[in-house]
Amino acid sequence: MSLTPQESAYLEKKIGRKPNPVELQIVAAEWSEHCSYKSSKKHLKTLPRKGRRVISGPGYDSGVLDVGDGYVVTVHIESHNHPSAVEPYGGAATGVGGVIRDILSAGTRPIAILDGLRFGDIEKDTHARWLFKNAVRGIADYGNCLGIPTIGGEIEFDRCFTNYALVDVASVGFGKKERLIQNRADRGDYVVLIGGSTGRDGIGGSQFASDKLESENRSAVQIPDPFIEKLVIEAILEARNQKCIKAMKDLGGGGLSCAVSETSDALSVGIELDVALVHKREQNMSPTELMVSESQERMLVITSPEKLQTLKEICEKLRVSYSIVGRVTEGNTMQIKYDKDTVAKLPSDVVVNAPLLDRPASVPKYLARISSIKKPKAPNLSQTLLRMLSNPNIASKHWVYTQYDHEVGIRTVIKPGQDASVLRLDNGKFLSVKIDGNSKHCYVNPRQGVIGCFDEACRNIVCTGATPIGMVDHLQFGNPEDPEIFWTFKESVEGITEYAKYFEIPCVGGKVSLYNETDDGPIKPTPLIGVLGLIEGKPLIPKKAKKGDLLVMVGLTKDELGGSEYYEYVHDVVGGACPAVDMVSSRSNQEAVLEIIGQGMTKAVHDCSKGGLGVAISELCITHEIGCMVSLDKVPSEQLAEDELLFSESHSRFLLIVEPSKIKAVRALLEKHKVKHDAIGKFSGKNIAFKNKSKVVASVMVDKAQEKWLNSLGSLVSHG
């Protein structure tokens, strides 16, 4: 909980004196990696942030996108990795609470939650199983108590997460454009702390999250209380309606230190605060503890003298605790008092702007070692397909999402378990949302790996009939002081920038989480991409495939098994050629599929991703409860072996279920867009079968595949 010698010298030079102990802790919280982005900020500036729908982007608590008719959607993503690795229930739950308050800060109602989870090998590691079960329970309990649906997410298990956990939570909000909080302040306005009482939980949380996890520092883990959060949400939204809120910020990492300094700096005003007035749940808390505590369910609100009484009445009516803790002043100074004594006085722009670092980067040595590998011999493909379907990374996540109330709020049109989830908006439009990540691909090739994650999230959105309108990213890596790790971070940022610019999808928010490592070593590079898509008409609600329906493949399958589940799960082989995205063909494929959906030519669309074509077709057969005979020799591809055709994870591929009467029109449209495609299968019977010309190379019963795919994850956890 201290600054480096260089940072201390920089601070002294900036303020012209030595900081006192309280000031030192305030700055240490704000200059932590978790809050300041001092290693990453220079590189994040390359991300495209502007677009015709963007109202506000990165740098605010949540990004805001205009969805027309006077309405906006807001989105933000956060992590709670270190706390979840120590105390998974509380860590994951408070992660949900924090990101929901980010949505609330814009003046919008949170309408959905998504999560991205990473744990060790739950087949062999009982501790990983314990972390997984309790993190899911924490997310479920918090979201369910709030009455906000958890509508989707994704999960990955890998040995690199042993004794650790990544818990990412994204939230989406919705509201009227005219009710957005304008974030302004005038001299004499009141600063009010609303919500949960301040305690000693979470002290030093931002610094705890900015270093390698070496000890179980439970004092840095916050305590969740969703019932207080629910009341805070309703109080804030009523105060917004009554025009009581001129500016607002949630208390997240760094607590009051960051909330006050960032508000002061963003609004170009001074703030005078008396921490003795803060409502507390513990006795004898020092000024430092009050400033850096990260107790949850708290919001900092600036209100005018004219509206103060109304704000108090709203809080009292809803039984939400509050403290009038300060006033807005001229200048840009944050002055912290304890009763009559000034305990800290700092320029807010100095506190907010940590000295940025220009970290060295070098290509990791391991990449040369894994770039070329000896291809493993293909095993029995029928048995392999069943094994792949029971792989925890591929098996149905039904056990997880059935613990979440994903229908509360009556907006959920397409529920978890599909390619993406879809929400109904009040203006007659629909919002499609998905988050995706693939640490295996990103380890083998950080740049192409993250581009692939982005492409997969877009494909999932397209499968519902939506056009991508914005994205958020969450960049998770090990120690940035290691040049090889920092190189993988830079490559990832450049990859996201390249894809976002080509597809004109603005980045409206994100998070960087570094120092994700334990004594066992760093995690693999794990960027996560969340994409929002807008549906102006109606979403594609999948219709059941019937006997005689055709399976159409769009996109090219290549020799790209590097980082695949087939290589790593079946053969324990790390390396090879990572799937690379051809952006020109990817755009054509997406546009063609959207046009087919728009013209009502397909019953259902599914993308090919983890596990490749074999898994994607099996998932369709399982969910539609019908068999399919697939001709591998008709799959648009390079010259590939049968196992490569089945399990390559090449990007930009879609599977369409088409009625025979519509196949001619579908072919004509695909040819118009000049995309690689063919009808590769016909639905019928009770077998999922793959033939190469006349020879059947793999065949499994639908009910057997369904049993493996549907029950594997749940049985693993229940036997934990």
Residue 4 CB neighbours (<10 A):
11
> What is the pLDDT, as a whole number, of residue 204?
57
CB 612 within 8 A of CB 566: yes
DSSP helix/strand/coil, 600: coil
Q: What is the CATH number of the domain that holds 594?
A: 3.90.650.10
Contacts for 377-384: CB closer than 8 Å, 24+ residues apart: 378/641, 378/642, 378/643, 379/570, 379/643, 381/614, 381/642, 381/643, 381/646, 381/690, 381/697, 381/698, 382/698, 382/699, 382/700, 384/566, 384/570, 384/643, 384/647, 384/698
Which of 577, 648, 662 is closest to 612 using CA atoms? 648
Residue 542 CB neighbours (<10 A):
20
Give the residue-averaged pLDDT of 346-350. Answer: 95
Whether the predicted pLDDT of 206 surpasses 80: no
> What is the pLDDT, as a whole number, of residue 209?
43
Residue 689 covered by a domain = yes
43, 76, 80, 474: which one is catalytic? Answer: 80
- The pTM for the full model equals 0.94
Give 128-179 pLDDT, tens digit per residue.
Answer: 999 999 999 998 888 888 888 888 889 999 999 999 999 999 999 999 999 9
Residue 626 covered by a domain = yes
Higher pLDDT, 345 or 206: 345
Give the residue-averaged pLDDT of 598-624. Answer: 97
DSSP helix/strand/coil, 270: strand
> What is the pLDDT, as a whole number, of residue 86?
87
Give 685-714 pLDDT, tens digit per residue.
Answer: 999 999 999 999 999 999 999 999 999 988
> What is the pLDDT, as a whole number, of residue 414?
82
Residue 195 covered by a domain = no
Question: 415 pLDDT band (50/70/90 cuts)?
Answer: confident
Cα–Cα distances (Å) from 80 to 4, 99, 165, 434, in that order, read: 24, 10, 9, 19
**Given its phi and psi angles, is residue 70 left (phi above 0), alpha (psi -120 to 50 degrees) or beta?**
left
Strands 412-414 and 421-424: antiparallel
Higher pLDDT, 409 or 578: 578
For 641, the domain range is: 356-395+542-720
Place of tokens 């639908």: 702
Residue 674 covered by a domain = yes
Which of 442, 427, 456 is closest to 489 using CA atoms? 442
Number of domains observed in the structure of the chain: 1
Whether the predicted pLDDT of 12 surpasses 90: yes
Q: In the beta sheet, which residues pair with residue 235?
A: none
Strand order of the β-sheet with 54-56 is 54-56, 63-68, 71-79, 166-176, 109-119, 150-157
Give 233-243 pLDDT, tens digit per residue.
Answer: 999 999 999 99
Catalytic site includes residue 80: yes
User: Which pair of tokens denotes residue 225?
Assistant: 């209380």
Residue 345 covered by a domain = no
Quote the distance between the C-alpha of residue 434 and its chain's center. 9
Which of 42, 44, 33 is closest to 494 using CA atoms? 44
Cα–Cα distances (Å) from 390 to 290, 379, 707, in that order, read: 49, 16, 9
Residue 376 CB neighbours (<10 A):
15
Strands 412-414 and 333-338: unpaired
Residue 467 covered by a domain = no
Residue 578 covered by a domain = yes
Crossing angle (nearest 10°) for helices 702-718 and 381-390: 40
Cα–Cα distances (Å) from 305 to 192, 314, 327, 333, 335, in that order, read: 11, 15, 10, 21, 20
Place of tokens 């009484």: 309
Q: Where are the beta strands (DSSP E) in 125-280?
A: 150-157, 166-176, 190-195, 247-250, 270-274
Give 478-488 pLDDT, tens digit per residue.
Answer: 999 999 999 99
User: Which pair of tokens denotes residue 132?
Assistant: 């997984």
- Look up residue 127 and give its amino acid: H
Cβ-proximal residues to 506 (8 Å cutoff; 6+ apart), any chain: 48, 49, 50, 51, 53, 54, 57, 470, 471, 500
Give 207-218 pLDDT, tens digit per residue.
Answer: 444 454 554 544
Least confident of 28-42, 637-651, 676-690: 28-42
Dihedral (CA of 542, 546, 550, 551) sign: positive
Q: In the beta sheet, which residues pair with residue 700?
A: 688
User: Which pair of tokens denotes residue 567?
Assistant: 């290589």
Q: At 698, phi and psi to the nearest 5?
A: -160, 140
CA 346 – CA 262 distance, rounded (Å): 12
- Start-to-end Cα distance in the chain: 37
* DSSP states along 387-399: HHHHSTTTS--HH
> What is the pLDDT, as a whole number, of residue 222?
65
Catalytic site includes residue 43: no
Give the residue-averaged pLDDT of 376-384. Answer: 94
Residue 152 covered by a domain = no
